[in-house]
Amino acid sequence: MKFLRSLCFAFSMFSRLPVPTLSWRDENMRYIMALFPFVGAAVGLIVWLWLLFCQALDFSVFLRAAGLTILPILATGAIHLDGFCDTIDALSSGAPPERKRAILKDPNAGAFAVIAAGCFLLAYFALCAELDITANTPLLFLFTFTISRSLSGFGVLTLKESTAPGLASSFKQSADKGISLAVCGGFFLLSALSLLYFGKVTGAVMIVLALLCFLWLRHLARRKFEAMSGDLAGYFLQVCELSLLAAQIFVPKVVSAWF
Protein backbone atom coordinates (compact mmCIF):
# COMPACT_ATOMS: atom_id res chain seq x y z
CA MET A 1 0.00 0.00 0.00
CA LYS A 2 2.89 2.38 0.68
CA PHE A 3 4.13 1.91 -2.88
CA LEU A 4 0.63 2.46 -4.23
CA ARG A 5 0.16 5.65 -2.19
CA SER A 6 3.57 6.90 -3.30
CA LEU A 7 2.69 6.09 -6.90
CA CYS A 8 -0.52 8.11 -6.66
CA PHE A 9 1.39 10.94 -4.98
CA ALA A 10 4.03 10.87 -7.74
CA PHE A 11 1.36 11.14 -10.44
CA SER A 12 -0.49 13.92 -8.60
CA MET A 13 2.78 15.83 -8.05
CA PHE A 14 4.45 15.40 -11.44
CA SER A 15 1.51 15.07 -13.81
CA ARG A 16 -2.02 16.23 -14.47
CA LEU A 17 -3.31 12.71 -14.99
CA PRO A 18 -6.34 11.88 -12.83
CA VAL A 19 -5.37 10.02 -9.65
CA PRO A 20 -6.72 10.00 -6.06
CA THR A 21 -5.65 13.02 -4.02
CA LEU A 22 -3.55 12.11 -0.98
CA SER A 23 -2.50 14.14 2.04
CA TRP A 24 0.99 15.64 2.23
CA ARG A 25 2.52 13.11 4.64
CA ASP A 26 5.96 11.53 4.83
CA GLU A 27 4.62 8.00 4.37
CA ASN A 28 2.95 9.04 1.10
CA MET A 29 6.24 10.49 -0.16
CA ARG A 30 8.47 7.61 0.93
CA TYR A 31 8.92 6.16 -2.57
CA ILE A 32 7.92 9.14 -4.71
CA MET A 33 11.33 9.50 -6.37
CA ALA A 34 11.61 5.75 -6.90
CA LEU A 35 8.29 5.77 -8.75
CA PHE A 36 8.93 8.99 -10.65
CA PRO A 37 9.91 7.04 -13.83
CA PHE A 38 6.40 5.54 -13.91
CA VAL A 39 5.16 9.04 -14.71
CA GLY A 40 7.59 9.11 -17.61
CA ALA A 41 6.25 5.77 -18.81
CA ALA A 42 2.71 7.18 -18.77
CA VAL A 43 3.83 10.21 -20.79
CA GLY A 44 5.56 7.86 -23.22
CA LEU A 45 2.35 5.88 -23.68
CA ILE A 46 0.44 9.10 -24.40
CA VAL A 47 3.01 10.00 -27.06
CA TRP A 48 2.73 6.46 -28.46
CA LEU A 49 -1.06 6.79 -28.78
CA TRP A 50 -0.64 10.16 -30.46
CA LEU A 51 1.72 8.68 -33.06
CA LEU A 52 -0.76 5.87 -33.75
CA PHE A 53 -3.58 8.44 -34.06
CA CYS A 54 -1.51 10.55 -36.48
CA GLN A 55 -0.72 7.50 -38.58
CA ALA A 56 -4.35 6.38 -38.68
CA LEU A 57 -5.60 9.81 -39.83
CA ASP A 58 -2.54 10.60 -41.98
CA PHE A 59 -1.81 13.90 -40.23
CA SER A 60 0.83 16.26 -41.58
CA VAL A 61 4.31 16.28 -40.02
CA PHE A 62 3.60 19.71 -38.52
CA LEU A 63 0.44 18.64 -36.70
CA ARG A 64 2.21 15.50 -35.52
CA ALA A 65 5.17 17.57 -34.29
CA ALA A 66 2.84 19.99 -32.49
CA GLY A 67 1.29 17.08 -30.59
CA LEU A 68 4.68 15.61 -29.72
CA THR A 69 5.72 18.99 -28.34
CA ILE A 70 2.56 19.92 -26.47
CA LEU A 71 1.32 16.60 -25.07
CA PRO A 72 4.24 15.99 -22.66
CA ILE A 73 3.81 19.53 -21.34
CA LEU A 74 0.06 19.09 -20.89
CA ALA A 75 0.51 15.69 -19.26
CA THR A 76 3.02 17.04 -16.72
CA GLY A 77 1.32 20.38 -16.16
CA ALA A 78 4.54 22.12 -17.33
CA ILE A 79 6.11 21.57 -13.91
CA HIS A 80 9.48 20.66 -15.44
CA LEU A 81 9.37 23.47 -17.98
CA ASP A 82 8.73 25.85 -15.07
CA GLY A 83 11.91 24.57 -13.39
CA PHE A 84 13.79 25.02 -16.66
CA CYS A 85 12.66 28.66 -16.89
CA ASP A 86 13.51 29.42 -13.26
CA THR A 87 16.97 27.90 -13.68
CA ILE A 88 17.66 29.90 -16.85
CA ASP A 89 16.72 33.10 -15.01
CA ALA A 90 19.06 32.23 -12.14
CA LEU A 91 21.97 31.25 -14.40
CA SER A 92 21.53 34.38 -16.52
CA SER A 93 21.79 36.61 -13.46
CA GLY A 94 25.49 35.88 -12.97
CA ALA A 95 24.85 36.27 -9.24
CA PRO A 96 26.49 34.33 -6.39
CA PRO A 97 25.00 30.92 -5.52
CA GLU A 98 22.88 32.23 -2.65
CA ARG A 99 21.28 34.84 -4.90
CA LYS A 100 20.74 32.23 -7.63
CA ARG A 101 18.84 30.05 -5.16
CA ALA A 102 16.69 33.05 -4.22
CA ILE A 103 15.87 33.68 -7.90
CA LEU A 104 14.67 30.08 -8.22
CA LYS A 105 11.99 30.83 -5.64
CA ASP A 106 10.80 34.01 -7.41
CA PRO A 107 7.39 33.22 -8.98
CA ASN A 108 7.87 35.89 -11.66
CA ALA A 109 9.42 34.94 -15.01
CA GLY A 110 12.25 37.09 -16.27
CA ALA A 111 13.06 37.98 -19.87
CA PHE A 112 15.71 35.26 -20.13
CA ALA A 113 13.22 32.61 -19.01
CA VAL A 114 10.67 33.66 -21.64
CA ILE A 115 13.30 33.73 -24.39
CA ALA A 116 14.71 30.34 -23.34
CA ALA A 117 11.25 28.75 -23.18
CA GLY A 118 10.45 30.02 -26.67
CA CYS A 119 13.77 28.68 -28.01
CA PHE A 120 13.24 25.33 -26.29
CA LEU A 121 9.74 24.86 -27.70
CA LEU A 122 10.81 25.94 -31.18
CA ALA A 123 13.79 23.55 -31.13
CA TYR A 124 11.66 20.66 -29.81
CA PHE A 125 8.97 21.27 -32.46
CA ALA A 126 11.53 21.52 -35.27
CA LEU A 127 13.23 18.29 -34.20
CA CYS A 128 9.88 16.49 -33.99
CA ALA A 129 9.00 17.73 -37.49
CA GLU A 130 12.33 16.39 -38.79
CA LEU A 131 11.89 13.02 -37.09
CA ASP A 132 11.54 9.94 -39.30
CA ILE A 133 8.87 7.79 -37.66
CA THR A 134 9.77 4.10 -37.52
CA ALA A 135 8.36 1.15 -35.58
CA ASN A 136 10.87 1.84 -32.77
CA THR A 137 10.25 5.61 -32.47
CA PRO A 138 7.50 5.31 -29.81
CA LEU A 139 9.77 3.07 -27.73
CA LEU A 140 12.68 5.51 -27.99
CA PHE A 141 10.37 8.26 -26.73
CA LEU A 142 9.07 6.08 -23.92
CA PHE A 143 12.53 5.15 -22.64
CA THR A 144 13.69 8.75 -23.06
CA PHE A 145 11.02 9.78 -20.56
CA THR A 146 11.93 7.01 -18.10
CA ILE A 147 15.73 7.36 -18.26
CA SER A 148 15.51 11.13 -17.74
CA ARG A 149 13.31 10.68 -14.68
CA SER A 150 15.43 7.90 -13.20
CA LEU A 151 18.50 10.16 -13.39
CA SER A 152 16.50 13.12 -12.08
CA GLY A 153 15.41 11.05 -9.09
CA PHE A 154 18.99 9.89 -8.57
CA GLY A 155 20.12 13.53 -8.52
CA VAL A 156 17.51 14.56 -5.96
CA LEU A 157 18.46 11.65 -3.71
CA THR A 158 22.25 11.98 -3.90
CA LEU A 159 23.15 15.63 -4.46
CA LYS A 160 23.35 18.07 -1.56
CA GLU A 161 20.01 19.76 -0.99
CA SER A 162 19.40 23.35 0.04
CA THR A 163 18.99 24.17 3.73
CA ALA A 164 15.90 26.22 2.82
CA PRO A 165 12.64 24.24 2.61
CA GLY A 166 11.71 23.04 -0.87
CA LEU A 167 10.19 20.15 -2.79
CA ALA A 168 13.49 18.39 -3.49
CA SER A 169 14.60 18.54 0.14
CA SER A 170 11.16 17.35 1.32
CA PHE A 171 11.22 14.38 -1.04
CA LYS A 172 14.78 13.47 -0.06
CA GLN A 173 14.12 13.70 3.67
CA SER A 174 10.96 11.59 3.40
CA ALA A 175 12.45 8.98 1.09
CA ASP A 176 13.49 5.44 1.87
CA LYS A 177 16.83 6.21 0.27
CA GLY A 178 18.12 2.66 -0.16
CA ILE A 179 15.02 1.33 -1.92
CA SER A 180 14.56 4.54 -3.92
CA LEU A 181 18.12 4.47 -5.25
CA ALA A 182 17.80 0.78 -6.11
CA VAL A 183 14.56 1.35 -8.04
CA CYS A 184 15.94 4.42 -9.86
CA GLY A 185 19.04 2.39 -10.74
CA GLY A 186 16.88 -0.46 -11.99
CA PHE A 187 14.82 1.92 -14.13
CA PHE A 188 18.01 3.42 -15.55
CA LEU A 189 19.42 0.01 -16.47
CA LEU A 190 16.14 -1.14 -18.00
CA SER A 191 15.82 2.09 -19.99
CA ALA A 192 19.46 2.00 -21.11
CA LEU A 193 19.30 -1.64 -22.23
CA SER A 194 16.02 -0.95 -24.05
CA LEU A 195 17.52 2.06 -25.84
CA LEU A 196 20.47 -0.08 -26.90
CA TYR A 197 18.21 -2.89 -28.11
CA PHE A 198 15.72 -0.76 -30.03
CA GLY A 199 18.00 2.13 -31.01
CA LYS A 200 21.34 0.41 -31.63
CA VAL A 201 23.92 3.17 -32.31
CA THR A 202 21.33 5.89 -31.77
CA GLY A 203 20.37 4.33 -28.45
CA ALA A 204 24.00 4.18 -27.34
CA VAL A 205 24.47 7.87 -28.12
CA MET A 206 21.24 8.67 -26.25
CA ILE A 207 22.57 6.92 -23.14
CA VAL A 208 25.86 8.83 -23.31
CA LEU A 209 24.01 12.12 -23.72
CA ALA A 210 21.77 11.34 -20.75
CA LEU A 211 24.83 10.70 -18.58
CA LEU A 212 26.51 13.89 -19.83
CA CYS A 213 23.37 15.85 -18.95
CA PHE A 214 23.49 14.34 -15.47
CA LEU A 215 27.12 15.42 -15.09
CA TRP A 216 26.04 18.92 -16.11
CA LEU A 217 23.31 18.79 -13.45
CA ARG A 218 25.90 17.68 -10.89
CA HIS A 219 28.14 20.60 -11.89
CA LEU A 220 25.27 23.09 -11.55
CA ALA A 221 24.18 21.72 -8.18
CA ARG A 222 27.71 21.74 -6.77
CA ARG A 223 29.32 24.80 -8.36
CA LYS A 224 26.69 27.22 -9.60
CA PHE A 225 23.98 26.80 -6.94
CA GLU A 226 25.81 24.86 -4.21
CA ALA A 227 22.61 22.87 -3.65
CA MET A 228 20.19 20.61 -5.49
CA SER A 229 16.59 21.78 -5.98
CA GLY A 230 13.38 20.79 -7.72
CA ASP A 231 13.91 23.54 -10.30
CA LEU A 232 17.32 22.13 -11.22
CA ALA A 233 15.76 18.67 -11.55
CA GLY A 234 13.16 20.11 -13.94
CA TYR A 235 15.85 21.95 -15.90
CA PHE A 236 17.87 18.74 -16.22
CA LEU A 237 14.85 16.76 -17.37
CA GLN A 238 14.00 19.22 -20.17
CA VAL A 239 17.60 19.53 -21.39
CA CYS A 240 18.06 15.76 -21.25
CA GLU A 241 14.91 15.02 -23.24
CA LEU A 242 15.73 17.66 -25.87
CA SER A 243 19.24 16.20 -26.24
CA LEU A 244 17.96 12.65 -26.62
CA LEU A 245 15.38 13.78 -29.17
CA ALA A 246 18.15 15.49 -31.16
CA ALA A 247 20.11 12.23 -31.13
CA GLN A 248 17.19 10.45 -32.80
CA ILE A 249 17.49 12.82 -35.77
CA PHE A 250 21.21 13.49 -36.09
CA VAL A 251 22.76 10.10 -35.33
CA PRO A 252 21.03 8.18 -38.17
CA LYS A 253 21.86 10.97 -40.62
CA VAL A 254 25.53 11.02 -39.59
CA VAL A 255 25.77 7.21 -39.72
CA SER A 256 24.16 7.05 -43.18
CA ALA A 257 26.38 9.88 -44.47
CA TRP A 258 29.64 8.35 -43.21
CA PHE A 259 28.93 4.66 -43.67
Q: How many residues does the chain have?
A: 259
Say what the pLDDT of residue 26 is.
59
Identify the CA nearest to 150 among candidates 139, 142, 160, 161: 142
168 versus 85: which is more confidently predicted?
A: 85
Instruction: Report in angstroms the alpha-carbon separations of 255 from 126, 136, 210, 247, 250.
Output: 21, 17, 20, 11, 9
pLDDT tens digit string along 126-144? 999 999 999 999 999 999 9
Instruction: Report in angstroms the alpha-carbon separations of 163 from 97, 148, 171, 206, 245.
Output: 13, 25, 13, 34, 35
- Computed over its alpha carbons, how large is the radius of gyration of the chain? 18
* Mean of the per-residue pLDDT values of the chain: 89
Say what the pLDDT of residue 104 is.
87
Say what the pLDDT of residue 74 is.
95
pLDDT tens digit string along 56-84? 999 999 999 999 999 999 999 999 999 99
205 versus 4: which is more confidently predicted?
A: 205
User: Which three-class secondary structure state does DSSP give residue 161?
Assistant: strand
Q: At residue 92, what is the residue type?
A: S
Under the banding of pLDDT at 50, 70 and 90, the label for residue 5 is confident
Under the banding of pLDDT at 50, 70 and 90, the label for residue 27 is low
Domain ranges of the chain: 2-249
